[in-house]
Structure 1
Amino acid sequence: MELKQIDKTIYKKKQRKVALILCLIFALIALGLSALLRNYFGNPEQANTMINLIGVLTGALITIGIFSRFVGRPYYDELRYAWNLKRQALKIQNHRHRWEVLLDEGDKTAAIVLAFYYKATLQIQSLEGNDFGYHDTEKREAKFLDQCQKKGLEADPHLYTIDMLLTLK
Protein backbone atom coordinates (compact mmCIF):
# COMPACT_ATOMS: atom_id res chain seq x y z
CA MET A 1 0.00 0.00 0.00
CA GLU A 2 1.26 3.39 -0.96
CA LEU A 3 0.71 6.58 1.00
CA LYS A 4 -1.15 9.23 -1.01
CA GLN A 5 -2.12 12.79 -0.32
CA ILE A 6 -5.85 13.39 -0.42
CA ASP A 7 -7.73 16.60 0.16
CA LYS A 8 -9.25 16.61 3.63
CA THR A 9 -12.22 18.77 2.66
CA ILE A 10 -13.12 16.56 -0.31
CA TYR A 11 -12.75 13.46 1.84
CA LYS A 12 -14.98 14.83 4.61
CA LYS A 13 -17.57 16.07 2.11
CA LYS A 14 -17.78 12.70 0.37
CA GLN A 15 -17.78 10.81 3.67
CA ARG A 16 -20.71 12.84 5.00
CA LYS A 17 -22.62 12.60 1.75
CA VAL A 18 -22.21 8.82 1.49
CA ALA A 19 -23.11 8.31 5.16
CA LEU A 20 -26.24 10.45 4.81
CA ILE A 21 -27.37 8.69 1.64
CA LEU A 22 -26.76 5.24 3.17
CA CYS A 23 -28.69 6.18 6.30
CA LEU A 24 -31.60 7.45 4.24
CA ILE A 25 -31.65 4.34 2.05
CA PHE A 26 -31.46 2.11 5.11
CA ALA A 27 -34.20 3.99 6.94
CA LEU A 28 -36.57 3.93 3.99
CA ILE A 29 -36.02 0.27 3.19
CA ALA A 30 -36.05 -0.93 6.82
CA LEU A 31 -39.13 1.07 7.80
CA GLY A 32 -40.93 0.17 4.61
CA LEU A 33 -40.17 -3.54 4.93
CA SER A 34 -41.12 -3.57 8.60
CA ALA A 35 -44.44 -1.90 7.82
CA LEU A 36 -45.15 -4.34 4.96
CA LEU A 37 -44.24 -7.37 7.03
CA ARG A 38 -46.39 -6.15 9.95
CA ASN A 39 -49.26 -5.56 7.55
CA TYR A 40 -49.12 -9.04 6.04
CA PHE A 41 -47.74 -11.19 8.86
CA GLY A 42 -48.24 -9.13 12.02
CA ASN A 43 -50.76 -9.52 14.73
CA PRO A 44 -52.43 -6.25 15.82
CA GLU A 45 -53.09 -7.65 19.29
CA GLN A 46 -49.49 -8.69 20.04
CA ALA A 47 -46.02 -7.24 19.86
CA ASN A 48 -44.44 -7.53 16.43
CA THR A 49 -40.84 -7.22 17.59
CA MET A 50 -39.52 -10.18 15.59
CA ILE A 51 -41.28 -9.02 12.42
CA ASN A 52 -39.82 -5.53 12.85
CA LEU A 53 -36.37 -7.02 13.49
CA ILE A 54 -36.60 -9.10 10.32
CA GLY A 55 -37.53 -5.95 8.38
CA VAL A 56 -34.60 -4.01 9.83
CA LEU A 57 -32.07 -6.80 9.22
CA THR A 58 -33.32 -7.30 5.67
CA GLY A 59 -33.08 -3.54 5.13
CA ALA A 60 -29.48 -3.58 6.36
CA LEU A 61 -28.58 -6.42 3.99
CA ILE A 62 -30.21 -4.68 1.03
CA THR A 63 -28.42 -1.41 1.88
CA ILE A 64 -25.07 -3.21 2.09
CA GLY A 65 -25.80 -4.86 -1.26
CA ILE A 66 -26.61 -1.52 -2.87
CA PHE A 67 -23.47 0.09 -1.46
CA SER A 68 -21.25 -2.79 -2.56
CA ARG A 69 -22.39 -2.29 -6.17
CA PHE A 70 -21.33 1.38 -6.17
CA VAL A 71 -18.23 1.43 -3.95
CA GLY A 72 -15.90 0.49 -6.82
CA ARG A 73 -16.60 3.68 -8.76
CA PRO A 74 -13.97 6.44 -8.99
CA TYR A 75 -16.10 8.80 -6.87
CA TYR A 76 -15.26 6.64 -3.84
CA ASP A 77 -11.46 6.60 -4.36
CA GLU A 78 -10.69 8.78 -1.33
CA LEU A 79 -13.05 6.82 0.90
CA ARG A 80 -11.64 3.46 -0.25
CA TYR A 81 -8.09 4.72 0.24
CA ALA A 82 -8.82 5.90 3.79
CA TRP A 83 -10.62 2.63 4.58
CA ASN A 84 -7.68 0.54 3.33
CA LEU A 85 -5.21 2.79 5.13
CA LYS A 86 -7.11 2.31 8.39
CA ARG A 87 -7.13 -1.46 7.88
CA GLN A 88 -3.36 -1.53 7.28
CA ALA A 89 -2.68 0.67 10.30
CA LEU A 90 -4.86 -1.56 12.48
CA LYS A 91 -3.07 -4.69 11.28
CA ILE A 92 0.21 -3.14 12.37
CA GLN A 93 -1.30 -1.75 15.59
CA ASN A 94 -2.49 -5.22 16.62
CA HIS A 95 1.13 -6.41 16.67
CA ARG A 96 2.92 -3.14 17.32
CA HIS A 97 4.53 -4.40 20.52
CA ARG A 98 6.13 -7.24 18.53
CA TRP A 99 7.35 -4.84 15.85
CA GLU A 100 8.84 -2.63 18.56
CA VAL A 101 10.73 -5.61 20.01
CA LEU A 102 12.14 -6.35 16.54
CA LEU A 103 13.05 -2.68 16.18
CA ASP A 104 14.98 -2.85 19.45
CA GLU A 105 16.89 -5.78 17.96
CA GLY A 106 17.81 -3.63 14.93
CA ASP A 107 15.39 -5.15 12.40
CA LYS A 108 15.16 -2.90 9.31
CA THR A 109 11.77 -4.34 8.25
CA ALA A 110 10.34 -3.32 11.63
CA ALA A 111 11.64 0.22 11.07
CA ILE A 112 9.89 0.42 7.69
CA VAL A 113 6.63 -1.08 8.99
CA LEU A 114 6.52 1.24 12.01
CA ALA A 115 7.43 4.26 9.85
CA PHE A 116 4.46 3.42 7.62
CA TYR A 117 2.27 2.90 10.68
CA TYR A 118 3.08 6.34 12.10
CA LYS A 119 2.59 8.13 8.77
CA ALA A 120 -0.67 6.26 8.11
CA THR A 121 -1.95 6.99 11.62
CA LEU A 122 -1.07 10.67 11.28
CA GLN A 123 -2.85 10.88 7.94
CA ILE A 124 -5.97 9.14 9.29
CA GLN A 125 -6.05 11.38 12.34
CA SER A 126 -5.66 14.46 10.15
CA LEU A 127 -8.47 13.34 7.83
CA GLU A 128 -10.73 12.55 10.78
CA GLY A 129 -9.93 15.83 12.55
CA ASN A 130 -8.45 14.12 15.62
CA ASP A 131 -6.08 16.89 16.75
CA PHE A 132 -5.34 15.43 20.20
CA GLY A 133 -4.45 12.04 18.77
CA TYR A 134 -2.47 13.67 15.99
CA HIS A 135 -0.19 15.53 18.38
CA ASP A 136 0.25 12.45 20.56
CA THR A 137 1.19 10.37 17.52
CA GLU A 138 3.62 13.06 16.38
CA LYS A 139 5.44 12.78 19.71
CA ARG A 140 5.57 8.98 19.48
CA GLU A 141 6.80 9.20 15.89
CA ALA A 142 9.59 11.62 16.91
CA LYS A 143 10.74 9.15 19.58
CA PHE A 144 10.58 6.35 17.04
CA LEU A 145 12.63 8.30 14.47
CA ASP A 146 15.20 9.17 17.14
CA GLN A 147 15.45 5.48 18.04
CA CYS A 148 15.93 4.56 14.36
CA GLN A 149 18.61 7.20 13.95
CA LYS A 150 20.51 5.89 16.98
CA LYS A 151 20.36 2.35 15.60
CA GLY A 152 21.27 3.47 12.08
CA LEU A 153 18.02 2.15 10.58
CA GLU A 154 16.30 3.66 7.55
CA ALA A 155 12.67 4.41 8.44
CA ASP A 156 11.22 5.11 4.99
CA PRO A 157 7.45 4.52 4.91
CA HIS A 158 7.49 4.47 1.09
CA LEU A 159 9.37 1.14 1.17
CA TYR A 160 6.47 -0.52 2.98
CA THR A 161 4.66 -3.40 1.33
CA ILE A 162 1.79 -5.50 2.64
CA ASP A 163 4.02 -8.58 2.35
CA MET A 164 6.19 -7.24 5.17
CA LEU A 165 3.40 -8.07 7.62
CA LEU A 166 3.79 -11.73 6.69
CA THR A 167 7.36 -11.75 8.00
CA LEU A 168 6.05 -11.40 11.55
CA LYS A 169 5.38 -14.90 12.82
Structure 2
Amino acid sequence: MQFKKIDKQTYRSRLNRIIVACIVSLAGLSLLVSQVLIVRFPSESGSHFHWNLLGVIVGALVVVSVLLKFKNHPKMEEVAYVWDLKHQLNLIYRKNRKLLAEAKAGNPQAMLALQYSYEGSRQLWQLDDNSITMDSLNKAQNQLDEWVDQYGVVLDVSEYRQELLKQF
Protein backbone atom coordinates (compact mmCIF):
# COMPACT_ATOMS: atom_id res chain seq x y z
CA MET A 1 0.00 0.00 0.00
CA GLN A 2 1.38 3.34 -1.04
CA PHE A 3 0.95 6.60 0.85
CA LYS A 4 -1.53 9.15 -0.49
CA LYS A 5 -1.81 12.82 0.27
CA ILE A 6 -5.04 13.32 2.20
CA ASP A 7 -6.73 16.68 2.77
CA LYS A 8 -7.28 16.87 6.51
CA GLN A 9 -10.49 18.93 6.34
CA THR A 10 -12.08 16.64 3.74
CA TYR A 11 -11.08 13.55 5.71
CA ARG A 12 -12.46 14.86 9.01
CA SER A 13 -15.69 16.05 7.38
CA ARG A 14 -16.34 12.74 5.63
CA LEU A 15 -15.36 10.70 8.67
CA ASN A 16 -17.78 12.66 10.86
CA ARG A 17 -20.59 12.16 8.35
CA ILE A 18 -19.91 8.44 8.16
CA ILE A 19 -19.83 8.14 11.96
CA VAL A 20 -23.15 9.99 12.34
CA ALA A 21 -24.75 7.94 9.55
CA CYS A 22 -23.55 4.71 11.18
CA ILE A 23 -24.86 5.71 14.60
CA VAL A 24 -28.26 6.78 13.27
CA SER A 25 -28.54 3.67 11.09
CA LEU A 26 -27.51 1.31 13.85
CA ALA A 27 -29.96 2.85 16.32
CA GLY A 28 -32.83 2.90 13.82
CA LEU A 29 -32.25 -0.61 12.51
CA SER A 30 -31.80 -2.03 15.99
CA LEU A 31 -35.06 -0.52 17.20
CA LEU A 32 -36.94 -1.52 14.07
CA VAL A 33 -35.79 -5.14 14.10
CA SER A 34 -36.25 -5.59 17.84
CA GLN A 35 -39.72 -4.02 17.84
CA VAL A 36 -40.85 -6.20 14.93
CA LEU A 37 -39.57 -9.29 16.73
CA ILE A 38 -41.21 -8.25 20.03
CA VAL A 39 -44.57 -7.70 18.31
CA ARG A 40 -44.36 -10.98 16.36
CA PHE A 41 -42.99 -13.08 19.24
CA PRO A 42 -44.01 -11.52 22.57
CA SER A 43 -42.52 -12.92 25.74
CA GLU A 44 -44.78 -14.00 28.58
CA SER A 45 -42.22 -12.95 31.17
CA GLY A 46 -42.01 -9.43 29.75
CA SER A 47 -38.27 -9.65 29.10
CA HIS A 48 -37.28 -8.93 25.55
CA PHE A 49 -33.54 -8.80 26.05
CA HIS A 50 -32.83 -11.49 23.44
CA TRP A 51 -34.92 -9.69 20.79
CA ASN A 52 -33.21 -6.39 21.57
CA LEU A 53 -29.81 -8.06 21.34
CA LEU A 54 -30.74 -9.69 18.04
CA GLY A 55 -31.89 -6.27 16.77
CA VAL A 56 -28.50 -4.76 17.61
CA ILE A 57 -26.65 -7.66 15.95
CA VAL A 58 -28.74 -7.44 12.78
CA GLY A 59 -28.34 -3.65 12.69
CA ALA A 60 -24.56 -3.93 13.12
CA LEU A 61 -24.32 -6.54 10.35
CA VAL A 62 -26.31 -4.35 7.98
CA VAL A 63 -24.20 -1.25 8.76
CA VAL A 64 -20.94 -3.16 8.30
CA SER A 65 -22.10 -4.71 5.03
CA VAL A 66 -23.15 -1.29 3.68
CA LEU A 67 -19.77 0.20 4.69
CA LEU A 68 -17.94 -2.63 2.93
CA LYS A 69 -20.12 -2.30 -0.17
CA PHE A 70 -19.47 1.44 -0.45
CA LYS A 71 -15.80 1.31 0.61
CA ASN A 72 -14.67 2.16 -2.95
CA HIS A 73 -17.14 5.02 -3.39
CA PRO A 74 -15.40 8.37 -4.08
CA LYS A 75 -16.95 9.94 -0.94
CA MET A 76 -15.32 7.19 1.16
CA GLU A 77 -11.86 7.40 -0.44
CA GLU A 78 -10.08 9.22 2.39
CA VAL A 79 -11.75 7.25 5.17
CA ALA A 80 -11.13 3.91 3.44
CA TYR A 81 -7.49 4.86 2.87
CA VAL A 82 -7.05 5.62 6.58
CA TRP A 83 -8.72 2.32 7.53
CA ASP A 84 -6.37 0.44 5.20
CA LEU A 85 -3.35 2.35 6.49
CA LYS A 86 -4.29 1.57 10.09
CA HIS A 87 -4.58 -2.09 9.13
CA GLN A 88 -1.08 -2.05 7.60
CA LEU A 89 0.37 -0.32 10.65
CA ASN A 90 -1.29 -2.85 12.93
CA LEU A 91 0.29 -5.71 10.97
CA ILE A 92 3.70 -4.07 11.37
CA TYR A 93 3.10 -3.32 15.05
CA ARG A 94 2.43 -7.00 15.76
CA LYS A 95 5.95 -7.76 14.53
CA ASN A 96 7.56 -4.66 16.02
CA ARG A 97 9.80 -6.46 18.53
CA LYS A 98 11.28 -8.74 15.86
CA LEU A 99 11.56 -5.87 13.38
CA LEU A 100 13.51 -3.75 15.86
CA ALA A 101 15.90 -6.60 16.64
CA GLU A 102 16.45 -7.32 12.96
CA ALA A 103 16.87 -3.63 12.09
CA LYS A 104 19.45 -3.28 14.85
CA ALA A 105 21.29 -6.22 13.28
CA GLY A 106 21.25 -4.52 9.87
CA ASN A 107 18.32 -6.17 8.07
CA PRO A 108 17.22 -3.72 5.34
CA GLN A 109 13.74 -5.27 5.03
CA ALA A 110 13.10 -4.72 8.74
CA MET A 111 14.31 -1.14 8.42
CA LEU A 112 11.97 -0.61 5.46
CA ALA A 113 8.97 -1.91 7.41
CA LEU A 114 9.84 0.33 10.35
CA GLN A 115 10.28 3.35 8.09
CA TYR A 116 6.89 2.67 6.53
CA SER A 117 5.37 2.37 10.00
CA TYR A 118 6.90 5.64 11.16
CA GLU A 119 5.83 7.59 8.08
CA GLY A 120 2.34 6.10 8.19
CA SER A 121 1.99 6.84 11.91
CA ARG A 122 3.15 10.40 11.35
CA GLN A 123 0.52 10.88 8.63
CA LEU A 124 -2.24 9.40 10.81
CA TRP A 125 -1.30 11.42 13.84
CA GLN A 126 -1.27 14.62 11.80
CA LEU A 127 -4.72 13.82 10.39
CA ASP A 128 -6.04 13.17 13.89
CA ASP A 129 -4.17 16.09 15.54
CA ASN A 130 -2.36 13.65 17.83
CA SER A 131 0.80 15.54 18.72
CA ILE A 132 1.22 13.98 22.16
CA THR A 133 3.10 10.89 20.98
CA MET A 134 5.12 12.64 18.28
CA ASP A 135 8.19 12.80 20.56
CA SER A 136 8.36 9.02 20.90
CA LEU A 137 7.94 8.69 17.14
CA ASN A 138 10.78 11.14 16.55
CA LYS A 139 13.04 9.19 18.93
CA ALA A 140 12.26 5.93 17.16
CA GLN A 141 12.89 7.60 13.78
CA ASN A 142 16.26 8.94 15.00
CA GLN A 143 17.27 5.44 16.14
CA LEU A 144 16.28 4.02 12.76
CA ASP A 145 18.21 6.78 10.98
CA GLU A 146 21.32 5.82 12.96
CA TRP A 147 20.98 2.17 11.86
CA VAL A 148 20.41 3.24 8.26
CA ASP A 149 23.61 5.31 8.36
CA GLN A 150 25.56 2.61 10.19
CA TYR A 151 24.71 -0.10 7.62
CA GLY A 152 24.58 2.16 4.56
CA VAL A 153 20.99 1.22 3.70
CA VAL A 154 18.83 3.28 1.35
CA LEU A 155 15.14 3.18 2.22
CA ASP A 156 12.31 3.89 -0.22
CA VAL A 157 8.89 3.36 1.36
CA SER A 158 7.33 2.96 -2.08
CA GLU A 159 9.07 -0.44 -2.16
CA TYR A 160 7.27 -1.62 0.98
CA ARG A 161 4.96 -4.61 0.48
CA GLN A 162 2.95 -6.40 3.15
CA GLU A 163 4.47 -9.72 2.06
CA LEU A 164 7.88 -8.80 3.45
CA LEU A 165 6.46 -9.12 6.98
CA LYS A 166 6.12 -12.88 6.52
CA GLN A 167 9.85 -13.36 7.11
CA PHE A 168 9.60 -11.93 10.63
Report the alpha carbon displacement of residue 165 of structure 1 after superposing the two structures with TM.
1.5
- TM-superposed CA distance for 1:133, in Å, is 1.7
| Alignment deviations for residues 2-45 of structure 1 (CA, whole Å, 9 cap, x no partner) | 11211111111111110100111111110111111111212264
- The residue number in structure 1 matching 2:56 is 56
Corresponding residue pairs, total: 168
TM-score (norm 1): 0.91
C-alpha separation between the residues in 2 aligned to 1:45 and 1:110? 60
Alpha-carbon distance change, 45 to 108 in structure 1, aligned in 2, over 3 angstroms: closer
CA distance in 2 between partners of 1:111 and 1:35 (Å): 55
CA RMSD of aligned residues (A): 1.5
2:117 pairs with 1:117: yes
1:94 shift after superposition:
0.6
Identity %: 23
CA distance in 1, matches of 2:15, 2:149: 38
- Partner Cα separation in structure 2 for residue 13 and residue 40 of structure 1: 40
TM-score by length of 2: 0.92
**Aligned position for 1:153:** 153
- For 1:154 and 1:76, the matched residues in 2 are separated by 34
Counterpart Cα distance in 2 of 1:109 and 1:68: 32
Aligned match of 1:7:
7
Runs of at least 4 residues of structure 1 off by over 3 A? none
Paired residue for 1:73? 73
Q: Does 1:94 align with 2:101?
A: no
Q: Decide whether the 8 Å contact of 2:2 with 2:158 is kept in 1.
A: yes
Unaligned runs of 5+ in 1: none
**CA deviations over 1:47-88 (Å, ceiling 9, x no partner):** 111111111111111222222222221221111111111111
Instruction: Please list every run of 5 or more consecutive structure 2 residues that lacks an aligned counterpart in the other structure.
Output: none
Which residue number corresponds to residue 163 of structure 1? 163
Residue 90 (structure 1) shift: 0.9
